[in-house]
Amino acid sequence: MEKTMLDYIKETPLVVNDIIDHSHEYSKDLVDLYVTNQFSGITLIASGSSYNGCLTIVPFIKHILNIDVFLYTPFTFVNHELPFIKDHLFLGVSQSGCSTNTLDALKALKEKGRKCACLVGRDDCDAKDIADLTVNWRVGEEKVGFVTKGVTSLAAFLMCFTLELGRALGSVNENKYIHAKGQLKKTQQIQPLMLEETMKIFEKQKDLFYKPSRVILLSSGPGLGVASEGALKIAETSCIDAFAYEAEEFLHGPVYPCKPDDLFILIDNSDAPSSSRIIDIALALEDISKRVFVITNDERIREDHRFSVPEQTCQHTSPLYKLTCLQTLSYLMTSMTNNFEPHDCVKRFKKANKVASKSRDGLYLDLQKIQ
C-alpha cells in the first residue's frame, strides 16, 4: 500500500532529529560557501511549499545572525529583483530539484556570473547541473506531492544551517548554540503530541471542518509561514478556497466578505508579544463564525477550539511542530470530502501541461487522478 500524507507527517521527527544531530556535517559545504565568499546576507528563492518553509525561518535567521535576509518567488526574483541584490548568498530551494521556475532563477544567476547554491530533497535532480553547489537537506523519500515532511525538514535544516554559520562567523557562542539545539530537539518531542491533539479536536468538531465556504488562516512573524503553508496545503488537497493573511491586516479590508460558514484558523507565536493580539482577534471573530480555531496554549480560547500541547518552544522554533497541525487538518479535511480530486477543468489544465512547473514527469504519485 502506498504511503499517505499522514504517514509522512508521522515520519517527520525521525528525519528532523537526524538533521539536528548531524547539522555540522550536512550544512558544512553551505557554511563554507558563505564564509569563503564573505557574503553579507542571504537571498532565498523558492516557490510553493518550499517558499512557505523558508517564510517560517526568515525571522529565525535574522534573530540569530542579525543579517539581511530576502525571500522571493523565482519569477519575481528573475524579472524584478535580481539586479538590485549585491553580496548575498543566493540560495534556491526545490525539494524535487526540478521546479522549472527555480531552475530559471539559477540559470539567470549563472548568466550574470553570480554564485548560487540550491537546496534539494533528492540527489537525482536537474538543479545540480546549474548551481555552483547543491545540498540535499536529507528529507528522504516523499512520494506524495502535497509535501509535509519536506517542508518541516527544510525549515529544520535552515535553522541548523543558521546556527552552524553563526558559530563559523563567531556570532553564536557555545551556550547559545546548545540552547538553540535543545529547542529544536524539543520541537520533535512535541510534534507527535500536536498530531494527536489535532486528530482529537478534528474528530470532536468534525461538522465544523466539513466543507466550509472558505478557510482563512491568520498569524504574523514565524506563524505567518505556518499560515501560508496551511492555506496552500488545504487549497491544493481539499480544493476549498484558502487564504493566509497577517492577522492585523486582515481587519483592514479582507474581513468584509466573511460569512458564518467560513473556517478561521489562527496561529499564535508562543512567547511573542503578537500572540495576545492574535487571541483578541480570534475571540472577536466568533461574532462572525462558530468555526474559529486557534493553535495556542492560551486558555482564553475554549478547549474544544484550541490546538494546544503540554509544552511550547520559543516563537522562532515553534513552526516545526505547529506546521503539523495544519498538515494533518489538510489530510483529514480532504479525506472526508473530495479525496484529493479537483474539478475536471483543473484536470484538463494540468494534463495539457502548457505551462509546465516541473522539468521531469512522474516525480510524485498521481493522487489527483490527472492521467
pLDDT at 344: 84
d(CA 7, CA 11) in angstroms, rounded, equals 6
**Nearest partner of 60 among 72, 73, 69, 48, judged by Cα:** 69
User: What separation in angstroms does the CA of 273 have from each of 35, 72, 127, 315?
Assistant: 34, 27, 40, 10
Domain with CATH 3.40.50.10490 in the chain: 5-172, 190-335
**CB-hemisphere CA count at 13 Å for 140?**
15
d(CA 320, CA 258) in angstroms, rounded, equals 30
pLDDT at 162: 98
Class level of CATH domain 5-172: alpha beta
Q: Is the overall model pTM greater than 0.85, yes or no?
A: yes
Residue 355, classified by CB atoms within 10 Å of its CB into exposed (0-12), middle (13-18) or buried (19+), is exposed
Could you tell me where the DSSP H helices lie in the chain? 5-21, 23-36, 48-65, 74-76, 100-111, 149-169, 174-204, 206-209, 222-238, 247-250, 274-285, 319-335, 344-352
Torsion angle (degrees, nearest 10) of CA 221, 223, 226, 227: -90
d(CA 197, CA 10) in angstroms, rounded, equals 13
Grid cell of 341 as nine digits: 480530486
The CATH code of the domain at 190-335 is: 3.40.50.10490
pLDDT at 42: 98
The mean pLDDT values, 10 residues at a time, for the chain of 371 residues are 92 98 98 98 97 98 97 98 96 93 96 96 93 96 92 98 98 97 98 98 97 97 97 95 98 98 97 94 98 97 98 96 98 86 83 75 60 59
User: DSSP code of 77?
Assistant: I
